[in-house]
């Protein structure tokens, strides 16, 4: 049976799938293009309709690939892209967004994120996001790689309270955000988007993860994703370059980790006991 897609609410009340699809590294190898597009379509067919990209990925070519792959399917998708901090001035943000829209062959982004904090004042980027919302070019905006202090600063900027999400590195091996950032996002009423949810594949040979996977007759990637997906307010955006990996990741929606599983994972990947600097990739 196909597992139901669990969902997460944005502050507006709109719901998005808790499991999406990432695209970092796509469109870099022409030999993989067919597999990447097939993976994306397989995911959409399964309801994994939140798609994450960025102007940075393959220097715009990942957005180009999505523009081609989403021809005729744009309305099925909750499309997320990101502005580079070097472009995130008031005018530069608008221009970067317009370039992304052209590459993506669409008239609007569902969510537009500041990729990480750079030298532009947050207030200028927020003002540009406001303009883009007003002009119908983006529906929501958010941030990425902002730590708890940055987020507090953002909330104090005029219009900053309209932030819809913070997309950060979060997986079993990167739990620092549990100490302060996740509670802060809960207080702000915004979901967190967990990027690199399987640590780019590096965690998949961990013995504890393998043990839990074996006990569940699942794969380590599915356990890593189910561990994230069991939490409210978390969207996981794994990148899978084949339809097989997409189907495997989708099946993680059906995996229920037991108390014993969770305790074993806590022993192997301990929760933070104090504040830690936000990790980034």
Interface positions with ligand NDP (CB under 6 A): 22-24, 52, 115, 144-145, 167, 195-201, 204, 221, 237-242, 245, 248-249, 281
Asked whether 16 and 7 are in contact (CB, 8 A), the reply is: yes
Least Cβ distance, residue 191 to ligand NDP (angstroms): 14
Catalytic option among 57, 112, 170, 195:
57
Half-sphere exposure of 137 (CA within 13 A, CB side): 20
Nearer to ligand NDP, 182 or 260 (CB): 182
Look up 170 and say whether it is catalytic: no
| DSSP bridge partners of 8 | 16
| Burial bucket for residue 32 (CB in 10 Å: 0-12, 13-18, 19+) | middle
Q: How far is the CB of 279 from ligand NDP (least distance, A)?
A: 11
Distance from the Cα of residue 79 to its chain's centroid: 11
Separation of alpha carbons 238 and 246, rounded Å: 9
Work out whether the CA dihedral 146, 131, 141, 60 comes out positive or negative: negative
Query: Minimum CB separation from ligand NDP for residue 275, in Å?
Result: 21
User: Considering beta carbons, is residue 263 or 280 the nearer one to ligand NDP?
Assistant: 280
Closest distance of CB 142 from ligand NDP, Å: 10
Report the DSSP beta bridge partners of residue 167: 144, 193
Closest to ligand NDP by CB, 13 or 217? 217
**Minimum distance, C-beta of residue 239 to ligand NDP, in the bound complex (Å):** 3
In the three-class reduction of DSSP (H, G, I as helix; E, B as strand; rest coil), residue 52 is classed as: strand
Helix ranges, the chain (H): 33-45, 61-69, 90-104, 122-134, 148-156, 181-188, 207-216, 220-229, 243-251, 259-268
Comparison of 216 and 242: residue with beta carbon closer to ligand NDP: 242
149 or 260: CB nearest ligand NDP: 149
CB of 134 vs ligand NDP, minimal distance in Å? 25
3-state secondary structure string across 166-228? EEEECECCECHHHCCHHHHHHHHCCCEEEECCCHHHCCCCCHHHHHHHHHHCCCHHHHHHHHH
Q: For ligand NDP, give the closer residue by CB, 46 or 240.
A: 240
Catalytic residues: 57
């Amino acid at each position: 049976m196909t597992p139901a897609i669990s969902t997460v609410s944005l502050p507006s009340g709109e719901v998005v799938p808790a499991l999406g699809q990432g695209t970092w590294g796509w469109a870099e190898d022409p030999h993989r293009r067919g597999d990447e597009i097939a993976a994306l379509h397989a995911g959409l067919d399964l309801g994994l309709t939140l798609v994450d990209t960025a102007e940075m990925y393959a220097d715009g070519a990942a957005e180009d690939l999505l523009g081609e792959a989403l021809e005729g399917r744009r309305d099925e998708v909750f499309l997320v892209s990101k502005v580079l901090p070097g472009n995130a001035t008031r005018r530069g943000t608008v221009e970067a967004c317009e370039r992304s829209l052209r590459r993506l062959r669409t008239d609007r982004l569902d969510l537009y994120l500041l990729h990480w904090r750079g030298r532009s004042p947050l207030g200028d980027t927020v003002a540009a996001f406001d303009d883009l919302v007003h002009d119908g070019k983006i529906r929501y905006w958010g941030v990425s790689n902002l730590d708890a202090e940055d987020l507090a600063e953002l909330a104090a900027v005029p219009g900053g309270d309209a932030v819809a999400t913070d997309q950060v590195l979060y997986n079993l091996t990167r739990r620092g955000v549990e100490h302060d950032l996740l509670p802060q996002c809960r207080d702000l009423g915004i979901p967190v988007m967990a990027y690199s949810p399987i640590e780019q594949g590096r965690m998949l040979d961990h013995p504890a993860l393998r043990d839990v996977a074996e006990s569940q007759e699942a794969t380590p990637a599915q356990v890593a994703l189910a561990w994230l997906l069991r939490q409210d307010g978390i969207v996981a955006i794994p990148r899978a370059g084949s339809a097989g990996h997409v189907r495997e990741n989708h099946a993680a929606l059906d995996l229920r980790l037991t108390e014993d599983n969770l305790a074993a994972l806590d022993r192997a990947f301990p929760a933070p006991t104090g504040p830690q600097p936000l990790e980034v990739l």
